[in-house]
């Protein structure tokens, strides 16, 4: 009996694996999608602005305005364009040709020389608030550097009272690639575990082959294991593939231990698979399963996991929701294992959370699946 | 007759999609929930970042600096430490994002008129958050310097900056993100509805039957496109209403310019969806295909990170992305009050993408038989 059960399970796994291998879209999700995502985020995306197109309006050129404009021209952050009246510069801002304006009025030099705090008008396009903040800070930095330089040129010394020394741990150059690439592994695994599994199992419900399987002597645990094992292997394959690209192509360091990475990935994979199964049981239709899987698992993994946006800054009711997103725990583990090392105070609680989640979702799957058999 | 046939097909498509209660629900329910959650969650602004202060200086000046950090809504001081060895565990365990270290000679150096360094130790695991936090610290230090100079009668500021931001006066990042979500969710729903429409029939075997009816491929194409367009317009309208009423995002431009944009955007989304659908044999392939298109389309659209920061080669790729143009239109109409003529260069590329993908889909209907 035992060997019969064993044979049944092996047969089922074989059938599921053949189904995966036969459909190129499953392989595409496991191996093409990681490449597309990693390369897009590794090379394409950056929040570090350079060569910001900046309009400089000089209503009356002279030595003072020239020296200030020169400070902007020498900065690597700006590529300045010159205007002589504010109206044409504002038109250029409206047409998105420039992102900001620095406006020196005709009496700028006179006020400057009389020491009466000459105003410099600054206008930025605020639509992209994040970039607008960065642009403002670069303008402030350039302005302060020019003030010091200007004071020196007049024989005064202007020492900066407080200077800031910054030391960044774990990612010294603050390269966004180093933090985005590990987080992407969570997204790739969510795709395989939840979206692909939800679709495939929903198809079995849609076609009635799931009901057909239920009248066979296969036990509930065997049906579940037969579904889970091939996709688990596929998901872990996708994970290892992504790790290889991250380490060898993007040179993201892996400071933590490889085995810890494997254990936490396996746990996360189980949670993702359980959620995928649950979605397929609830929806029983491929369109609903696909849309639900994207909206319940993929988008939260992107937005609510701390992968892109800081969780601390979210309103508290949303912070509460993020505790329900398994990717949140896995992203924290990934970023720590890759960039910092085996920090137990981060890794252990998050692995614990993943363990609880996998138990919770599997018991839910167990119960829901059972009901259909009745 | 010609249009009656198309209409009959479109009605059948609607029924196939909306007959199921769960399908009706997922088209409307989750996108609205997503808009609410993501609208509030997706923000680059930092609030209450946990900070530890390591102040070795006893003077008045350092207390003033610490109280400025404490008073900032961006930071929340969660720990005061007194030893070097306490520092690393706090950052390692992510209990604090940054530690502000003030040297014991800070006040005395400041009073002597020499530069007094302050050290900031940041957790770089999330480099973007670290960079933002650094910006906030920089601004606080700059303000501190200016008021220090003023108090010492050293008026360093012979010239002062008067900064204004246009269109998004308070620089709220959800004014940038939420209009983007309109494009994102509309694309998601429209693409899935159309990508599954042909694939569903292929899987069931009814597409072959459809091909031998008197319907011409162009009629099948239009019949399949209509439900996607109508659902997309309703979806977009619903999301825009929620955006304006709940998130208080202004609608400064004309609705006509916005809806022309929505129409052309949907045309290109439906075109891409039908093209994916025509290539796929199963619904699974259709969903995966839609996905393989959608993820790069979102990343390259400028939804979260500016196109101008991408490498040149990637910037060229973005011209193929219909979402890129639509995001300029939504943000333009809502925040900037852009007129039709200012957006002209965003309209025609979407029309071209739409026509190209739709004709390719029509060609694939006929020339791909299994």
Chain B residues with CB under 8 Å of A169 CB are 91, 121-124
**Do the interacting molecules here have an ipTM over 0.95?**
no
Q: CA separation (Å) from A44 to A41, B18, B317?
A: 5, 39, 10
Give pLDDT, residue A258.
94
pLDDT at B22 over 80: no
% of residues, chain A, pLDDT over 70: 97
The SS3 assignment for B156 reads: coil
What gap in Å lies between CA A167 and CA B316, rounded to an integer? Answer: 36
**Residue A294 sits in which domain range?**
2-45+173-373
Alpha helices in B205-321 (DSSP H): 206-211, 217-246, 255-279, 283-299, 312-318
Is the Cβ–Cβ distance between B258 and B333 less than 8 Å? Answer: yes
In a shared domain, residues B248 and B363: yes
In a shared domain, residues B34 and B54: no
Please give, rounded to a whole number of angstroms, the shortest distance from the CA of A334 to a CA of chain B: 10
Lowest mean pLDDT among A20-34, A261-275, B86-100: A20-34
pLDDT at B156 over 60: no
Q: CA separation (Å) from B364 to B206, B274, B283?
A: 16, 10, 17
In a shared domain, residues A102 and A191: no
Is the Cβ–Cβ distance between A130 and B136 less than 8 Å? Answer: no
In a shared domain, residues B124 and B214: no
Give pLDDT, residue B153.
65
Contact A163 B115 (CB under 8 A): yes
Contact A25 B285 (CB under 8 A): yes
In a shared domain, residues B23 and B60: no
Give pLDDT, residue B155.
56
In a shared domain, residues A203 and A138: no
Name the closest residue on chain B to residue A321, using Cα atoms.
Answer: B37
Q: What value does the mean pLDDT of chain A take?
A: 86
In a shared domain, residues A30 and A79: no
DSSP string, A335-362: HHHHHT---HHHHHHHHHHHHHHHHHHH
pLDDT at B68 over 80: yes
Short-list A159, A238, A147, A132, CA closest to A191 = A238
What gap in Å lies between CA B211 and CA B126, rounded to an integer? Answer: 53
Size of interface A-B (CB pairs under 8 A): 349
Q: Of the residues B151, B182, B213, which one is the last residue of a structural domain? A: B151
Chain A residues with CB under 8 Å of B128 CB are 47, 176, 179, 308
Q: How confident is the model at residue A123 (pLDDT cuts 50, 70, 90)?
A: very high
**Residue with more model confidence, B353 or A182:** B353
Give pLDDT, residue B154.
60
Beta carbons within 8 Å of B266's beta carbon, 6+ residues apart: B186, B190, B228, B229, B232, B233, B236
In a shared domain, residues A284 and A235: yes
What gap in Å lies between CA A172 and CA B268, rounded to an integer? Answer: 43
In a shared domain, residues B139 and B282: no
Lowest mean pLDDT among A92-106, A270-284, B148-162, B180-194: B148-162
DSSP string, B289-317: HHHHHHHHHHHTTTSSS-GGGS-HHHHHH
In a domain, A159, yes or no: no
Paired strand residues for A120: B161
Number of domains in chain A: 2
pLDDT at A370 over 90: no
In a shared domain, residues A19 and A76: no
In a shared domain, residues B294 and B336: yes
Q: Of the residues B151, B185, B216, which one is the last residue of a structural domain? A: B151
- Look up residue A42 and give its two tokens: 């590794």
Contact A203 B282 (CB under 8 A): yes
Give pLDDT, residue B369.
53
In a domain, B157, yes or no: no
CATH number at residue B71: 3.40.1710.10
In a domain, B164, yes or no: no
In a shared domain, residues A23 and A70: no
Contact B130 A94 (CB under 8 A): no
Q: Of the residues A153, A184, A208, which one is the last residue of a structural domain? A: A153
The 8-class DSSP code of residue A146 comes to: H
Give pLDDT, residue A86.
92
Beta carbons within 8 Å of A337's beta carbon, 6+ residues apart: A182, A254, A255, A256, A257, A260, A261, A264, A347
In a domain, B104, yes or no: yes
In a domain, B159, yes or no: no
Give pLDDT, residue A374.
41
Is the Cβ–Cβ distance between A143 and B161 less than 8 Å? Answer: yes
Mutate to test the interface with B, among A23, A43, A44 (most CBs of B within 10 A): A44
**Residue with more model confidence, B130 or A23:** B130
The SS3 assignment for A19 reads: helix
In a shared domain, residues B187 and B256: yes
Chain A residues with CB under 8 Å of B188 CB are 291, 294-295
Chain B residues with CB under 8 Å of A19 CB are none
In a domain, B162, yes or no: no
Q: How many CB atoms lie within 10 A of CB A150?
A: 19
Q: CA separation (Å) from B67 to B54, B73, B105, B227?
A: 13, 12, 18, 59
In a domain, A168, yes or no: no
Q: How confident is the model at residue A27 (pLDDT cuts 50, 70, 90)?
A: confident
**Residue B194 sits in which domain range?**
2-42+172-367
Q: Of the residues A153, A181, A216, which one is the last residue of a structural domain? A: A153
Lowest mean pLDDT among A237-251, A345-359, B144-158, B286-300: B144-158
Q: Of the residues B117, B151, B185, which one is the last residue of a structural domain? A: B151
In a shared domain, residues A38 and A60: no
In a shared domain, residues A148 and A183: no
Q: CA separation (Å) from A70 to A74, A115, A119, A265, B138?
A: 6, 21, 18, 53, 24
In a shared domain, residues B122 and B229: no
Give pLDDT, residue A222.
83
- Look up residue B231 and give its two tokens: 């659902």
**Residue with more model confidence, A195 or A28:** A195
Please give, rounded to a whole number of angstroms, the shortest distance from the CA of A204 to a CA of chain B: 12
In a shared domain, residues A35 and A58: no
pLDDT digits (tens, 9 = 90+) for A308-336: 888 888 888 889 999 999 999 999 999 99
**Mean pLDDT, to the nearest integer, of A205-229?**
81
In a domain, A319, yes or no: yes
In a shared domain, residues B100 and B20: no
Which own/partner pairs from B342-351 qualify as long-range (CB within 8 Å, at least 24 positions apart)?
Answer: B342/A94, B342/A95, B343/B257, B343/B261, B346/B261, B347/B260, B347/B261, B347/B264, B349/B319, B349/B322, B349/B325, B350/B261, B350/B264, B350/B265, B350/B267, B350/B268, B350/B322, B350/B325, B350/B326, B351/B264, B351/B267, B351/B268
pLDDT digits (tens, 9 = 90+) for B25-51: 777 787 888 888 888 887 778 888 999
CATH number at residue A143: 3.40.1710.10
In a shared domain, residues A183 and A63: no
Q: CA separation (Å) from B61 to A166, B102, B109, B148?
A: 20, 11, 10, 9
Paired strand residues for B162: A121
In a domain, B156, yes or no: no
In a shared domain, residues B146 and B194: no
Number of domains in chain B: 2
Please give, rounded to a whole number of angstroms, the shortest distance from the CA of B87 to a CA of chain A: 12
In a shared domain, residues A296 and A213: yes
């Amino acid at each position: 009996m035992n060997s019969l059960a064993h044979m049944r399970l092996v047969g089922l796994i074989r059938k599921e694996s053949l189904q995966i291998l036969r459909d190129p879209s499953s392989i595409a999700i496991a191996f093409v999608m990681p490449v597309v995502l990693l390369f897009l985020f590794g090379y394409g995306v950056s929040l570090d602005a350079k060569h910001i197109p900046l309009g400089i309006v000089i209503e009356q050129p002279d030595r003072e305005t020239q020296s200030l404009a020169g400070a902007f021209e020498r900065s690597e952050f700006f590529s300045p364009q010159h205007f002589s009246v504010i109206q044409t510069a504002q038109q250029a801002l409206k047409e998105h040709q420039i992102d900001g304006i620095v406006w020196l009025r005709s009496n700028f030099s006179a006020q400057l020389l009389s020491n009466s705090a000459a105003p410099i008008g600054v206008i930025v396009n605020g639509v992209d608030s994040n970039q607008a903040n960065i642009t403002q800070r670069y303008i402030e930095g350039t302005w302060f550097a020019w003030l010091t330089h200007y004071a020196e040129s007049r024989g005064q010394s202007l020492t900066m009272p407080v200077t800031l020394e910054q030391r960044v741990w774990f990612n010294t150059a603050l390269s966004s690639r180093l933090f985005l690439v590990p987080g992407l592994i969570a997204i790739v695994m969510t795709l395989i575990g939840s979206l692909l599994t939800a679709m495939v199992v929903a198809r079995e419900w849609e076609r009635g082959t799931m009901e057909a399987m239920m009248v066979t002597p296969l036990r509930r645990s065997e049906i579940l294991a037969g579904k889970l094992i091939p996709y688990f292997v596929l998901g872990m394959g996708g994970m290892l593939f992504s790790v290889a690209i991250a380490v060898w192509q993007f040179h993201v360091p892996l400071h933590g231990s490889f085995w810890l990475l494997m254990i936490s990935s396996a746990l996360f994979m189980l949670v993702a698979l359980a959620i995928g199964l649950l979605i397929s049981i609830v929806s029983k239709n491929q369109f609903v399963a696909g849309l639900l899987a994207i909206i319940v698992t993929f988008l939260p993994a992107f937005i609510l996991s701390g992968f892109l946006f800081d969780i601390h800054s979210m309103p508290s009711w949303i912070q509460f929701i993020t505790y329900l997103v398994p990717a949140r725990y896995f992203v924290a583990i990934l970023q720590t294992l890759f960039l910092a090392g085996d920090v137990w105070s981060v890794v252990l609680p998050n692995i614990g959370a993943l363990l609880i989640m996998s138990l919770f979702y599997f018991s839910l799957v167990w119960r829901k699946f059972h009901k259909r058999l009745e | 007759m010609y249009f009656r046939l198309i209409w009959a097909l479109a009605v059948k498509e609607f029924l196939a999609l909306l007959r199921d209660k769960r399908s009706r629900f997922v088209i409307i329910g989750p996108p609205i929930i997503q808009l609410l959650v993501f609208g509030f969650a997706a923000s680059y602004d930092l609030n209450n970042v946990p900070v530890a202060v390591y102040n070795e200086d006893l003077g008045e000046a350092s207390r003033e600096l610490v109280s400025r950090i404490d008073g900032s809504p961006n930071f929340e001081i969660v720990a005061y430490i007194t030893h070097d060895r306490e520092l690393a565990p706090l950052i390692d365990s992510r209990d604090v994002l940054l530690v502000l270290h003030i040297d014991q000679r800070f006040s005395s150096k400041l009073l002597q008129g020499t530069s007094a360094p302050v050290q900031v130790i940041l957790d770089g695991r999330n480099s973007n958050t670290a960079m933002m936090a650094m910006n906030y610290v920089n601004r606080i230090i700059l303000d501190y310097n200016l008021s220090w100079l003023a108090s010492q009668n050293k008026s360093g500021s012979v010239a002062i900056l008067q900064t204004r931001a246009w269109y998004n006066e308070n620089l709220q990042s959800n004014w940038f993100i939420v209009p983007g979500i309109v494009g994102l969710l509309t694309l998601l729903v429209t693409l899935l509805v159309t990508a599954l429409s042909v694939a569903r029939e292929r899987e069931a075997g009814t597409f072959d039957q459809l091909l031998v009816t008197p319907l011409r491929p162009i009629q099948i194409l239009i019949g399949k496109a209509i439900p996607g367009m109508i659902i997309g317009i309703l979806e977009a309208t619903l999301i825009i209403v929620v955006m304006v009423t709940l998130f208080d995002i202004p609608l400064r431009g004309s609705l006509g310019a916005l809806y022309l944009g929505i129409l052309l955007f949907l045309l290109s989304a439906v075109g891409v969806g039908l093209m994916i659908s025509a290539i796929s044999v199963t619904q699974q392939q259709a969903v995966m295909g839609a996905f393989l298109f959608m993820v790069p389309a979102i990343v390259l659209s400028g939804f979260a990170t500016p196109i101008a920061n991408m490498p040149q080669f990637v910037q060229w790729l973005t011209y193929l992305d219909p979402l890129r143009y639509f995001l300029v239109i939504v943000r333009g109409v809502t925040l900037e009050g852009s007129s039709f003529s200012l957006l002209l260069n965003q309209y025609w590329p979407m029309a071209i993408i739409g026509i190209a993908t739709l004709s390719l889909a029509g060609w694939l209907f006929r020339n791909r038989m299994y």
